[in-house]
Chain A
Amino acid sequence: MTELNDIQQQALKCAIQEGLPVDPRPYQVLADIIGSSEQEVISCIEKWINSGLIKRFGLVIKHHKLGYNANAMVVWNVSDELVDDIGERIKQSGLVTLCYRRPRRLPNWNYNLFCMIHGKDRSQVLEQLEQLREVCQLNEIEHDVLFSYKQFKQCGGRFHKQHPSSPSTPSTYQWNIEKKAVNHG
C-alpha cells in the first residue's frame, strides 16, 4: 500500500480537524475528497496517533452543554526544585483535567504551576480544590483560583489552512454564570 503524499496529508489534516463526516463509511468519504483509498486514510490517521501528533481521536465534548459550567484554573507558586514532584502528585490525584508548568513573569506573575478543575458548579470545584490541597499536601503553597465566567471562543487548534468549502465559524457563547466574589480562603 502506498502512503499519502504531503499534499494529501495536508488535505487530510484540514478535513479531519473539522470532524469526521457522520456517514457509515467516513474514511471513504475523506478518501474521496483527498483522492486516496479508504485504507490509506485509516493508516495515516493511525500513524499520527502512534507518533503522538494526535493526542486522542474521538468525540470532542462541549462540557458546558452538559452542565459542566464551572471551571477554575488554579495557579501555584511552587519552588523550582519541587515543581516536577508536585506536578506528578497532582496528576496522580485524579482531581484535575490538566496540569502544566509554565514560566513565571515577574513582577506581574509569580505562579509556575497550573491546573484545571472542572465541575458542575462553583462549590463542587472548590470542594475538589480543598481535596486536592489535602491529598497533595499543598496547604502551605501560595495559590490563586481563576474561575472562568464567560467563554468568547472555543474550537480545536487550527494548524492547517481551512478547506475553502469549510470556512471557520468562531463561536461566541455567553455563559449565564453569575459572577461572584471568589471565595477561596
Chain B
Amino acid sequence: MMSIAVDALGQKIIDRYQKGFPLSATPFKDIADELGVLEQDVIDCVSSLQQTDVVSRVGPVFNHKKAGDSTLAAISVPEELLSEVAEMVNQFDEVNHNYAREHKYNLWFVVTATDQQHLKKTLQAIENKTGYPILNLPMEQAYHIDLGFKLNWS
C-alpha cells in the first residue's frame, strides 16, 4: 500500500496531539495558538487527515479493563478459508481488531464486552459460528501500552 504524505502542519498536529487533545471550549484554536497558525488551518488539516483516513477519529481510547472486559483470541484456520472465517468473526460487534498472522494460529482478534459474562457468551458464539476452538488469552498484566507512539516522518 502506498503511504499517504502528510504535510508539515499535519505532522506537527499528529506528533503533539495523539494524547492530550485540549479540553477547552475551543480546542482547535488552542492548537492553532500553540503552533502559530490559524484556527481554520488546524480544522482544515484535521478534516483532511480524517478524509484520507490517516486519522480514524479524534477522541478517546478507552481502558478496556475499566470500560468492560476484553481478551485477545486466536483460532487456527486452513489458509484457504481464512477470509471467509474472518468475515464471520467480523460480524460480531464485540470484535474490534482482527488480523491474519503468520502462525499455526493465523487469525487473531480482540473481543471487548460490557462484562465478563457477555465476553464469555461472545467467545462461545464465535466458536459456534466458525466451528473452530478459540485460544482465549486475557491480559493478566500490562507492562506497557503506547499506541500513540512517536512517528518517524523521514
Binding site for B on A (CB under 8 A): 16-20, 22-28, 38, 42, 45-46, 48-49, 51-69, 73, 84, 87-88, 90-91, 96-103, 105, 108-109, 114-115, 118, 120, 144-159, 168, 170, 172, 175-176, 179, 182
Interface residues on B, range: 35 or more
Q: How many A-B residue pairs have CB under 8 A?
A: 262
The answer, yes or no, to whether B27 is at the interface (CB within 8 Å) is: yes
Contact A149 B102 (CB under 8 A): yes
- Measured CB to CB, the closest approach of chain B to A4, in angstroms, equals 15
Contact B62 A66 (CB under 8 A): no
The answer, yes or no, to whether B47 is at the interface (CB within 8 Å) is: yes
Contact B102 A146 (CB under 8 A): yes
Contact B108 A146 (CB under 8 A): yes
Contact A148 B59 (CB under 8 A): no
* 6 smallest beta-carbon distances between A and B, as pairs: A19-B57, A67-B3, A87-B143, A91-B144, A150-B100, A153-B98
**B 29-57 to A, binary, CB cutoff 8 A, 1 in contact else 0:** 10000000001000100110110111111
- In whole angstroms, how far apart are the Cα atoms of A119 and B126 in the complex? 31
- In whole angstroms, how far apart are the Cα atoms of A66 and B54 in the complex? 7
Contact A58 B21 (CB under 8 A): yes
